Amino acid sequence: MGCILAIIAAFMPRLLMFFIWLLTDWFSQAYDGWLIPLLGFFFMPYTTLAYMWAMLANGSLTGWWIVLLIVAVLADIGHSSGGTTYARRRRRPA
């Protein structure tokens, strides 16, 4: 089950976040309110999932959990800027 969640998280983080919200109470355990997970769903899904995982497993951001969060932020930035780069290339006349 854990491997399936990791695969879904890697390729479809928003789908995983939806199922986590629908089937568990992990978001309410990791976050105090609903606004940050909602914003994370639209803007930074990998970071939202990494923070939730760190809070559920460790209770705080220390050690390797900080590294995981930094990698998630970089993945979100790369994911969002990759589409911009591709669109820019398509618009440029050859």
pLDDT at 94 > cutoff 70: no
**What's the pLDDT band for 23 if we cut at 50, 70, 90?**
very high
Give the chain's mean pLDDT: 85
CA distance 94 to 92: 6
pTM comes to 0.78
pLDDT at 53 > cutoff 70: yes
Provide CB contacts within 8 A for 58, sequence distance 6+. Answer: 65
Torsional class of 44: left (φ above 0), alpha (ψ -120 to 50), beta (otherwise): beta
pLDDT at 51 > cutoff 70: yes
**What's the pLDDT band for 59 if we cut at 50, 70, 90?**
confident
